[in-house]
A and B are shown apart, each in its own frame.
Chain A
Amino acid sequence: MNKYLIGILLLYSIVFVGCMNDLNPEGGWSDPIVADNDLIVASKDGYLHQFNLETGYYNDIWKYPRGDEGLGAIYGSTILFDDTLYGNSYSCRGNDCAGRVFAVKKSDAIPEWGNQNIPINSRLIGDIAVSEEMILVSTGTVRDEINDSNISGLLISIDRVSGFINWEIPLDGESWSGVYLQNDIAYLGTLGGSIYAIDISKSNRFLDDPSKRILWTYDSGRAIAGGILISGDNIIFGDFGNRIFKISNQARSEGLNFPSKSEWLFNTENWVWATPIEDEGIIYASTLSGDVYAIGSNNGEEKWSANLDSKIIASPIVFDRRRGDKIQRSLAVPSADENVYVLSLFDGKELGVFATESAVKSSPVIHNDLIYVHSVEGKLLWFSTVDMSLRGCTDLVERKPC
């Protein structure tokens, strides 16, 4: 009997300890970026890596941070601005989260701001936005140590050169969508279901109260976790109410009822997380149940739809696929079922797959007839866009070819 009881206790311990993994952020959602002849990718173990596209080799010398401790989970994409890479990451014990905003020279991986990252006591999940003067970061719940309370979410402006915080605006919920810039307006969404348009211009008008920067808000009523596509004077985003919205900055500024003339609402089959993309007047959007839609940007009418039967978290990309003398416009859709699907841009028909053998939660990038894919397992794989064959693979965690 003793043996049975001890067995049960052990089983309990294993199960409970095993389940704790569900509480830890994994990361690996950050899109790789191409800068000059290099590809920069943030791996699952919290490091930025550089990969030379010309030689096809991993750059052993370039790595950030250099120490044994990584940056934590990286979900947002890294932004290259003025030869500096900006990004955010976080690590957590339950809800006790330590976020950080980092800036590092692309040329030599030397950190900016006197070797310091900017700490923010929150989950930092979405993309950051960078302008000439500032870095904009949207946060999850922020622990206010001074008042011993929680703030549901913040938009924080950080001076790009000094790394000091310029101003903060409290939001109606956590913001996982990231910040998207157009001229002097920043857009972001919250899990509370609101879209914010915020004036980020330099002006003394906002000194006493940064909340006056809010130009308008739009309440979709359901959580907005995915990113925002800016298209002219409009923004396009999806929510957890199975909908894709196109809303006009002008119409919202004027306080018109939704939908005004240039706005529309498109119903989907499931929640939308991936940021929609636009190509030649068509919006390509996807859902967490694997639906892909091509929607007319002007009228919100469906051109075609396809179902990949797998979670789609990252945005698709449009690329030219060479077939002999012909060039076929195609859509590469990363999915969580270990494949990047290639769909025809014209009718959504499946043209093939890049078999990644691991879930992909970041958008691929194209360079010289090769498509580079970062899998959540921590591998960088590249395939020929011509014959779709695997051409190479590097394990970013092990730092060696796979």
Chain B
Amino acid sequence: MEIFGLLWSEIIMRPMINSLVFLYYFLFSSFGISIIVFTVIIRLLMIPLTVRQYTQMKKMQVIQPRMKALQEKYKEKTSDNRRKLSQETMGLYKEAGVSPIGCLGPMFIQMPIWIGLYRAIIKTIPPTPEGLADLSVLLYSWNPGISSIPLGSVFLSTIDLADLVSAAVVPWNFALPVMVGGSMWLMQKMTTVPSSDPRQRQTNQMMLWMMPIMFGVFTWQFPSGLAIYILFSNIVGIIIQYFISGNEMLENFSINPFSRDKNIKINNQNSLDLASEKITKPNSKIKDGNKNGEEIHRKRRKRSNRHSSSGNRRKARRS
């Protein structure tokens, strides 16, 4: 266990604490700015993980209809069915290049970084004598920021970053939890991949509301510095997500003028139909299924365009 503690300290905590102190020294002795700049750097470094997570989620979305069809096929709960369902599900994952916890894997990798940063902020502006004494052995001797210890913790002249959000002055004591919860909801909404599976939709819905509410409530009892970190981490996350998923994310809000919402539903329905067929033909490829789905989808789109254009023509004649 001691080795894990040592690795945690040397690989995550010390570099983070020293970076924060270093940035403080060069960024106008403002701990608020150093937290923001550090958060941006960390989020940028984690872009490959974010992209991977998103890709995995998309793949999961594609195979959802087939998963559902499999569950339908083996809905009778016999031990033989359970075994077959498990086998075929794993086969499906393998075929699609999806790891069952692939979407969560990157999240697991990011977690130590988030937790480390959280602890680093608390340790860099320690409110207790124990914390300040501990800081002495965490700083690198070459770090020029050592001369600034203890760091000033007031940001924007009103927010004490070491102080609890609940104790901050009005309106920050209310604004910070709301902003943290709001930004988290927005990011959650953007990163959620639409699903045809009702159970998955339910989970997504739960996550969409539960995480922001939970973090909003937690923030009330966090140091303001941490709230600033979470807020900017979310903001940067939203921007990164926009660049990764482009217009697709707007579909989650039904505000995309080029919305493919309807198409997605149709596509999913087709995939579902096709998936049922595919199960009877185990050697067929997902790719083919998608192709067929697109084909049908194209035909339906043409048909719907035709309907709308003939409707328009009728309107024009009447006028």
List residues of A whose CB falls within 8 A of some B CB. 1-2, 4-5, 8-9, 11-13, 15-16, 19-20, 22-26, 29, 73, 75, 92-96, 123, 125, 148, 150, 176, 191, 221-223, 225, 240-241, 270-271, 273, 288-289, 311, 313
The DSSP consensus for interface residues of chain B is helix
Q: Is the CB of A273 within 8 A of B133?
A: yes
Partner of A15, one of B115, B136, B150, B160: B115
Cα A24 to Cα B126 with chains together (Å): 10
Verify if B123 is at the interface (C-beta below 8 Å from A): yes
Contacts of B136 in A (CB 8 A): 240, 270-271, 273, 288-289, 311
Residue of A1, A4, A13 ringed by the most chain B CB atoms within 10 A: A1
20 extra A-B contacts, CB within 8 A, seeds A4-B101, A9-B210: A2-B203, A5-B104, A8-B107, A19-B122, A23-B128, A25-B130, A93-B166, A94-B127, A94-B163, A95-B162, A95-B164, A96-B164, A125-B129, A148-B169, A191-B150, A223-B149, A223-B150, A240-B136, A273-B133, A311-B136
Verify if B244 is at the interface (C-beta below 8 Å from A): no
Cα A12 to Cα B137 with chains together (Å): 27
For A225, the closest partner residue in chain B by CB is: B132
Cα A155 to Cα B207 with chains together (Å): 51
Partner of B218, one of A16, A225, A288: A16
Can you report 25 residue pairs joining A to B where beta carbons are below 8 Å apart? A4-B101, A5-B104, A9-B211, A11-B111, A19-B118, A19-B122, A20-B221, A22-B122, A23-B122, A23-B223, A24-B128, A26-B128, A29-B129, A75-B129, A93-B166, A94-B127, A94-B163, A94-B167, A94-B223, A95-B127, A96-B163, A150-B160, A222-B149, A240-B149, A273-B133
For B170, the closest partner residue in chain A by CB is: A148
Q: Is the CB of B129 within 8 A of A176?
A: yes
List residues of B whose CB falls within 8 A of some A CB. 101, 103-104, 107, 111, 115, 118-119, 122-123, 126-134, 136-137, 146-147, 149-150, 160, 162-164, 166-167, 169, 199-200, 203, 206-207, 210-211, 214, 218, 221-223
A245 smallest CB distance to B (angstroms): 16
Residue of B147, B169, B199 ringed by the most chain A CB atoms within 10 A: B147
Partner of B128, one of A22, A222, A241: A22
Q: Is the CB of A93 within 8 A of B164?
A: yes
B215 smallest CB distance to A (angstroms): 9
Partner of B127, one of A1, A23, A29: A23
Q: Is the CB of A94 within 8 A of B166?
A: yes
Q: Is the CB of A95 within 8 A of B101?
A: no
Cα A123 to Cα B129 with chains together (Å): 10
Contacts of A75 in B (CB 8 A): 129
Cα A8 to Cα B164 with chains together (Å): 24
Contacts of A270 in B (CB 8 A): 136-137
Contacts of B115 in A (CB 8 A): 15, 19
Cα A270 to Cα B139 with chains together (Å): 10
A105 smallest CB distance to B (angstroms): 29
Q: Is the CB of A4 within 8 A of B104?
A: yes
Partner of A19, one of B119, B130, B134, B146: B119
Q: Is the CB of B214 within 8 A of A9?
A: yes
A263 smallest CB distance to B (angstroms): 22
For B223, the closest partner residue in chain A by CB is: A94
